[in-house]
Amino acid sequence: MSHFSTLRTKISDAEILKSSLRDLGISVKSEANVRGYNGQQVRADIVAVLEGEYDLGWSRNADGSFDLIADLWGVAKKHNQTELINSINQKYAVNKTLSEVKRPGLQNANVKLVVQK
């Protein structure tokens, strides 16, 4: 029986996801296996290689968004999974916003970014 869970996300930009993971000091692999319980593995488009025996992975859906795939029980053994996933989502949101602001026509726009806890 698989221990892997699949969660829908609003993440859609692979390059920004990868750079966000790197910004957080997380090693990134593309087209790799996500490590899970008892040596189980599942293939994903993007893999965050975590300290310990478990990883986080993202696989692209037909609509262009990514699903998060992980053995959440295993990840929680070494990491606070809620804080980890929230920090990845926050970093992604900031990086995505900054990349959108750099688009042509928005160079002179005023942007106010408010981060709330």
Q: Which two tokens stand for residue 30?
A: 């593309």
User: How does the average pLDDT of the chain come out, rounded?
Assistant: 91
Q: Give the mean pLDDT of 25-40.
A: 97
DSSP 107: T
Stretch 35-53: mean pLDDT: 97
| Mean per-residue pLDDT, 39-60 | 97
Give yes or no for residue 11 having a pLDDT over 80.
yes
The pLDDT value given to residue 7: 96
Which spans in 3-58 are helix H? 14-23
Q: What is the mean pLDDT of residues 30-47?
A: 97
Check whether 110 has a pLDDT greater than 90.
Answer: no
Which amino acid is located at 74 in the chain?
G
Which element (helix H / strand E) includes 72? helix 72-78
Is the pTM higher than 0.85? yes
What's the pLDDT tens digit per position in 76-103?
999 999 999 999 999 999 999 888 877 7
